[in-house]
Amino acid sequence: MNGKDMLEWMNDLDDKAVVDADVTPVRVKKHNVWKIGLSVAAGVLVLALLSYVLYPYITGRKNNKPGASNSDDTFFSETDILKSYVMASPNYPTSSSITSSGEKYEEYAEYNKEIVRKVLADTAGQNKAFSPLCMYLSLSMVAEVTDGESRQQILDILHQPDIESVRACAKNIFLSNYMVSENAKCLLANSFWTNSGWTYDQSVMETLASEYFASSFTGDPNDPDYSRVYREWLRDQTDGLLDGNSDSGLDPQMVLSLLSVVNFSGNWTQPFISPEQMVFHGTSGDVTTTFVQSVDTVKTYTGEHFISASARLDGNGSVRFILPEEGMTPEQLLEDEELFAYMNERFPDWDPVEPSESDPEIAAGACIRMPMIDFTNEINMKDYLTEMGVTDVFDASCSDFSPLKAGKGELAINSIKQNVRVMIDDTGCKAIAVTEVLVGGGDPLFEKEVLLDRPYIFEIVSESGLPLFIGIVNNVK
């Protein structure tokens, strides 16, 4: 109920209704009845206004802690105003029916290696994070609404032979990685925003709903209400933590806008402890900042050119911290084949652990000492995709969006970008990505501590073992 509805409801209350609402009989003077009614009404109004103001805090919308989960046990539920613009809606399964398939996606692993190398190779000494999963979902839907060479170029980048394989892989990935609980989640959401001034093939919208769980909407992009609904959808999916995206509206000239969101959060199995001021040797110079240490021992993996420590999240995958060998940058390490074999493996061949000094029967694992991070970045994907062979969809003279009934050579992708925010601290991890497509071995070292005091790579892995986010930390605050 909004403020206007509340006032209208208040106006409908008469004195008798207000007095009758008190379950305890009271003796009042007749001329004071209106005062009591007014007092009760005012109290109700104050409570209503407080509820309105405090709602975001009660529901967790203002909780920016990485481990916070701001969603209930359902997929995105469309409001009445949103439904007025709907062209097609997916039939979401309930979260309780979704289980991890445990399947290893070899095609996705190849796609992941190629696109991560391309996107993270030019950090220019800055922090940069990327969600290959979020981009995969967007590219899959672009393949669905294109044909001919435009589609084939995208199939090649996804390492899929045909559109049927794309549908199957995208759907399996969606279902096997979606999860939500009280303190953790991996929410995936897709939407398709069209221009009511154009004609679209309804069957394509139905396919997007059934195979990619994408909601499709149509309206006038110049209509403030349509833009507001767009912003509300985006803000709801991102918990309002990517303000640059959720505050923007639709491009008035757009023919269609495609959105994919990955919203991940989880708590460490035990919070990190022992905050201590230490020096991080970043590319921009040394910075003294707060480091925290894991309580639980962690698994480690020793490669020829790196060591990695994996910290478990409570029921929602893990975060792998990857430290290159001395003298090697994270960007240089991305060329290492062993690195991607490790990152794409759900159950790597972890290092053995040494016996505890106090009790030889107990294994003594390593710990992680890390700086806390919170950063945001925007990635313009057009140049990367062009370098990887996706060119036709960016050229209106040869693009093929015929499945939309738009005709060949009429449409082109004007921009494709991804915005990411990553927060990792003593409580856990939260990472959000929005992709918008706008159309007009060495031997184990038995390390007792993995100290992340210089540039490193991190990988956020879902409970099913799929890489969700990969990033490079070159500097800290």
Query: CATH number of the domain at 66-477, please?
Result: 3.30.497.10
- Give 76 or 215, the one with higher predicted confidence: 215
- Give 247 or 6, the one with higher predicted confidence: 247
- Give 214 or 181, the one with higher predicted confidence: 214
Statement: residue 59 has pLDDT above 90: no
> What is the sign of the dihedral through the CA atoms of 321, 322, 325 and 327?
negative
Q: What is the mean pLDDT of residues 446-454?
A: 79
Statement: residue 230 has pLDDT above 80: yes
Q: What is the mean pLDDT of residues 106-124?
A: 94
Using pLDDT thresholds of 50, 70 and 90, give the confidence band for residue 152: very high
467-473 and 299-302 strand pairing: unpaired
**Between the CA of residue 339 and those of 120, 305, 471, what are the distances in Å?**
14, 8, 13
Rounded Cα distance, 175 and 312, in Å: 21
- Give 73 or 140, the one with higher predicted confidence: 140
Closest C-alpha to 438, from 363, 387, 380: 380
Rounded Cα distance, 433 and 263, in Å: 7
As a whole number, the mean pLDDT across the chain is 81
Statement: residue 467 has pLDDT above 90: yes
Give the pLDDT of residue 66.
66
Do residues 184 and 314 make contact, with C-beta atoms less than 8 angstroms apart?
A: yes
* pLDDT digits 0-9 by tens, 190-229: 999 999 988 899 999 999 999 999 999 999 999 999 999 9
Residues of the chain above pLDDT 90, percent: 60
Cα 122 versus chain centre, distance:
22
Give the pLDDT of residue 329.
96
Rounded Cα distance, 96 and 399, in Å: 41
Give the pLDDT of residue 421.
98
Kindly report which listed range (163-177, 380-394, 402-416) carries the lowest average pLDDT score: 402-416
pTM of the model: 0.81
* pLDDT digits 0-9 by tens, 294-346: 988 889 999 999 999 999 999 899 999 999 999 999 999 999 999 999 999 88
Give kind and range of the element (H or E) at residue 318.
strand 318-324
* pLDDT digits 0-9 by tens, 12-45: 434 333 333 333 333 333 344 434 444 444 444 4
- Could you tell me the residue ranges of all domains in the chain? 3-58, 66-477
Give the pLDDT of residue 351.
85
**Between the CA of residue 201 and those of 13, 413, 414, what are the distances in Å?**
50, 19, 21
Statement: residue 396 has pLDDT above 60: yes
Q: What is the mean pLDDT of residues 377-390?
A: 97
Q: What is the mean pLDDT of residues 167-193?
A: 92
Q: What is the mean pLDDT of residues 379-397?
A: 96
Q: What is the mean pLDDT of residues 54-71?
A: 46
Rounded Cα distance, 24 and 20, in Å: 9
Statement: residue 185 has pLDDT above 90: yes
Statement: residue 104 has pLDDT above 70: no
Using pLDDT thresholds of 50, 70 and 90, give the confidence band for residue 379: very high
Q: What is the mean pLDDT of residues 110-137?
A: 96
